Amino acid sequence: MVSLQPLPVDHPRSRALLTDYFAMRGESFPQGQTYRPVFPEAAVFAPPAGIFLVAVDEGADVGCGGIRRIADGPDGTRYEVKHLFLRPETRGRGWGRVLLEALEDRAREWDAADIVLDTHHTLASAGALYSRSGYLPIEPYNDNPNATVWLRKSLSA
């Protein structure tokens, strides 16, 4: 079973996963468009501003994801999900949901009213996970050039 370990986003293990994630995104981005990866600053994923989790299975790092505090939304404190990734060979085991729920739980602990994310419409599996997890479409809350879909989930219920 997968376990989750908080690590600094600039730790070599985190950086290796992000490098793989950015490479995968770049390869799968629609032809004629450019994916623009940005390695995050460590401070935005340091508690209580945020957290970065690494998913580990049998001693191997298999995925990652984080949340970071962003400007408050209409309902109050807001966190954003970033860089949710599982290595392709581990997908379909429910670990994306485990990782997402852990990030949501941490946001709740920090009194978040809601949690948002942006994604790309070509990431069908991710979109299905977010939909099953209660995320609903919203108007864009940022100008991320890599995003085509923006989602929100209320955490106050």
In a domain, 66, yes or no: yes
Residue 153 counted as domain residue:
no
**44 lies in a domain?**
yes
Does any domain span residue 55?
yes
pLDDT score at 122: 83
User: Does residue 108 belong to any structural domain of this protein?
Assistant: yes
Q: What is the pLDDT of residues 54-93, one digit of tens each?
A: 999 999 999 999 999 999 999 999 999 999 999 999 988 9
98 token code pair: 């485990």
Rounded to 5 degrees, φ, ψ at 127 are -60, -40
Q: What is the pLDDT of residue 119?
A: 92
Q: Range with the lowest mean pLDDT among 2-6, 32-36, 90-94? A: 32-36
Which structural domain, as residue segments, surrounds residue 91? 3-113
64 part of a folded domain: yes
Long-range contacts of 37-41 (CB under 8 A, 24+ apart): 39/10, 39/15, 40/9, 40/66, 40/68, 40/82, 40/83, 41/9
Mean pLDDT for the stretch of residues 1-23: 94
For residue 26, the Cα-to-chain-centroid distance in whole angstroms is 17
Q: 99-144 pLDDT, tens per residue?
A: 999 999 999 999 999 999 999 888 888 999 999 999 999 999 999 8
Q: Which of 21-25, 31-35, 103-107 has the lowest mean pLDDT?
A: 31-35
**21 assigned to some structural domain:** yes
- Per-residue pLDDT band for 39 (boundaries 50, 70, 90) equals confident
Cβ neighbours of 147 (radius 10 Å): 16
What is the CATH classification number for the domain harbouring 99? Answer: 3.40.630.30
In the chain, what is the greatest distance between 2 CA atoms, to the nearest angstrom? 42
Domain count, the chain: 1
Q: Is the pLDDT of residue 95 over 70?
A: yes
Local confidence band at 157 (pLDDT 50, 70, 90 cut-offs)? low
**Average pLDDT of the residues of the chain:** 92
The pLDDT value given to residue 110: 96
In a domain? residue 142: no
